[in-house]
Amino acid sequence: MGAEVTNTGAPGRRRGRRIDLRRLGRAALSGSGARGRLPDAIDHVAKVHRAHHPGADLDILRRAYVLAESSHRGQTRKSGEPYITHPLAVTLILAELGAETTTLTASLLHDTVEDTEVTLDQVGEAFGEEVRFLVDGVTKLEKVDYGAAAEPETFRKMLVATGNDVRVMSIKLADRLHNMRTLGVMRPEKQARIAKVTRDVLIPLAERLGVQALKTELEDLVFAILHPDEYARTRDLVLAHAGRPDPLEATAARVRAVLREADINAEVLVRRRHFVSVHRVRIKRGELTGSDLGRLLVLVAEDADCYGVLGELHTCFTPFISEFKDFIAAPKFNLYQSLHTAVAGEDGQAAEVLIRTHRMHRVAEAGVVALGNPYAAPDAPDAPDGERVDPTRPGWLSRLLEWQRATPDPDTFWTSLRDELAQDREVTVFRADGGTIGLPAGSSCVDAAYAQYGDGAHHCIGARVNGRLAALGTVLRDGDTLHLLMSPDSASGPSPEWREHARTPAARIAIDRWLAAHPAPEPAADGPPAAPPAPGPPRSAPRAASPARGPVAVVTGAAGEGERAAVSVRLAGCCTPVPPDEVTGFAVRGGTVTVHRAPCPVVDRMVTSGRQPVEVRWRSPDEAGGGDYRVTLRAESFSRPHLLADLTEAIAAEGVAVISAAVEPPYEQRVRHTYTLQLADPGRLPELMRAMRRVPGVYDVERAGRALTAPL
């Protein structure tokens, strides 16, 4: 956009100055023919546009060109060309994709407010509010106002505008494509910087908006700049095959004959792979054949014809079943629909085939651009908050708009945006209430909780995936059914481990915000690390409980020395000893003694490392004066519905408070539950364990502090 403009004899841009649009119009029309006739420079754009939209009003395009040419007059690009060639090229790119008239009008004017004295108000007065909104959406923020934050804040502004009208991003993508085509005049370091932003942000956006025609060319241009050696190698590979017989052409001829005989009206084309696609296939398969350099594209009229073509191909050719994918019954998140298969050609090599209707092909190439004006959707309902429901707004964009509001810091926003866009697939998860959640591939139950409940997800304590209890860190797959278990305790919240399971920026930002507002107390210094807890979901307290009162153990000296006084004692969390367990202790930094159960694996590790044990004993009832004791239990059970609820109910019936609970993913129909509990009377522990064993499906309950066996 404004990065390549150079003023030659033109006055500097002065914000807020009013100029006479009619005077500029007369100047631009001089020498261009009679009034009302399209200027020669835009005539080609108009012809391409009319091919897609025969009834389009071309007068508004003429007026937009007049304003753009006049306001940019005297400005040149780095290449020395008149600057007006840039908005014309951007508009032609969009016209070839089938963009409607309003988009083309805005694309002609997209740099006027940024690089000339034309104001947004003047654009709105002359061309209407839609054009004004689109031009404003792609106008950069000034570095003089935002400094280093100008680029991330410009993208934030652009994305927010895209949330209301996806045509904003269509114009930006076309603008970047033309700038990338002409990037050779820039310094190498600037080429690399622009190429990296294109790779990290704009190419993923083009993919998500389904604009494959722009995405593939942008990928090749970025490939050439950032990886010139690999680009040259790939180009040479393609050129080496150019002079050889093409096996795909022979296969295409056979496919045409088969479909003619089946009386299926179809167009069969050989579609060449772009360089980045060839490069990826070469990495995946090694040595390439001629069939690997392209794919067959079969275009038909109706959806049913797609499956008819598929049946004929699988009947008359040898299919590679592992290559079959049905994106018609289950479209991709970016609107893409097609059948994918592969059949053996005459040389025995696999020939990939794409089968789609002509309409599907237009959407596959142009994505949201092919959907036209979102405001023109018939009978578009209004959202509850009064905003228009945009049928072209995809789920990933709605998620992005949600979390960016909670990210005022430009650097955090920029990093989170790149992380979000780095996810190249999306999965759909079905909620227990019948709704759906769209998430990036690789998302966990934690991500789903924040996507469904926002900050309310802080109180999530568990999940069922496809009807079975699962850890909150479980990665969700496309089509999974998810039931999130929520705690009624408003004091519960996420643990730091949740951050490790969160893949989406929305979840990470919400967790970080909660943890910052609820800092954990600094742990006391200790010796060698304790045994790691059993793997499971991040833990949150479903029930508030008072901290243990103590200490309930005392340190003794060597035989005959009596008790040591004023020694701080702490019960180890790895094995949670309670009376009358046999215990031993180890001195750690700060004079504290940590008390472990004798069978705890940490005791062996301490002794092996040369640490000397300290004799400890439990206080007598008279000395202790009462207290609360924490204990960790593991319940081994067969997986079944309602098991978590039944175990929790059995624990509550014994008058025991639950501090935290974790459930590991089921393995071979078995599942392990880990509970940290608070008891007023440790003597009740055996009865509590018996009560848990009586729960149907539970076959063992044991204390924590033993080495875990391999999967259940």
Residues designated catalytic: 114-115
How many beta carbons lie within 10 A of that of residue 641, not counting itself? 12
Strand-pair partners of 637: 671, 698
Q: How much of the chain is helix, strand and coil, in % rounded to 5? A: 45, 15, 35
Q: Token pair for residue 260?
A: 């003619």
How far is it, in rounded angstroms, from Cα 585 to Cα 588?
Answer: 10
Return the amino acid letter for 271. R
Question: For the CA atoms of 580, 586, 590, 591, what is the dihedral angle to 10 degrees?
Answer: 70
Q: Are the C-beta atoms of 127 and 80 separated by less than 8 Å?
A: no
Return the amino acid letter for 290. G
C-alpha Rg value of the chain to the nearest Å? 34
Return the amino acid letter for 230. E
Question: Hey, is 348 helix, strand or coil?
Answer: coil
Strand-pair partners of 269: 297
Q: Are the C-beta atoms of 296 and 252 separated by less than 8 Å?
A: yes
Whose structure tokens read 């950069």? 140
How far is it, in rounded angstroms, from Cα 367 to Cα 180?
Answer: 20
Q: Are the C-beta atoms of 97 and 366 separated by less than 8 Å?
A: yes
Q: Token pair for residue 518?
A: 């609820």
Q: Classify residue 707 by burial, with Cβ atoms within 10 Å: 0-12, 13-18, 19+.
A: exposed
How far is it, in rounded angstroms, from Cα 556 to Cα 653?
Answer: 38
For residue 580, is the peptide bond before it cis, meaning its omega torsion is within 30 degrees of 0? yes
Smallest CA-to-CA distance from 538 within 659, 663, 639, 366 is with: 663
Question: Hey, is 139 helix, strand or coil?
Answer: coil
Q: Are the C-beta atoms of 234 and 275 separated by less than 8 Å?
A: yes
Please spell the DSSP secondary structure of 516-539, one letter per residue: HHSPPPPPPP-SSPPPPPPS-S--
Q: Are the C-beta atoms of 653 and 613 separated by less than 8 Å?
A: no
Question: Hey, is 7 helix, strand or coil?
Answer: strand
How far is it, in rounded angstroms, from Cα 450 to Cα 456?
Answer: 7
Q: Token pair for residue 534?
A: 């059993």
How far is it, in rounded angstroms, from Cα 392 to Cα 373?
Answer: 9
Please spell the DSSP secondary structure of 415-466, one letter per residue: HHHHHHHT---EEEEEETTS-EEEEETT-BHHHHHHHHHGGGGGGEEEEEET
Q: Token pair for residue 7?
A: 């003023």
Q: Beta strands 670-679 and 629-638: pairing type?
A: antiparallel
How far is it, in rounded angstroms, from Cα 369 to Cα 173?
Answer: 11
Q: Token pair for residue 634?
A: 């593991």
Cα maximum dimension of the chain = 117
Straight-line distance from the first to the last Cα atom of the chain, in angstroms, rounded to the nearest whole number: 60
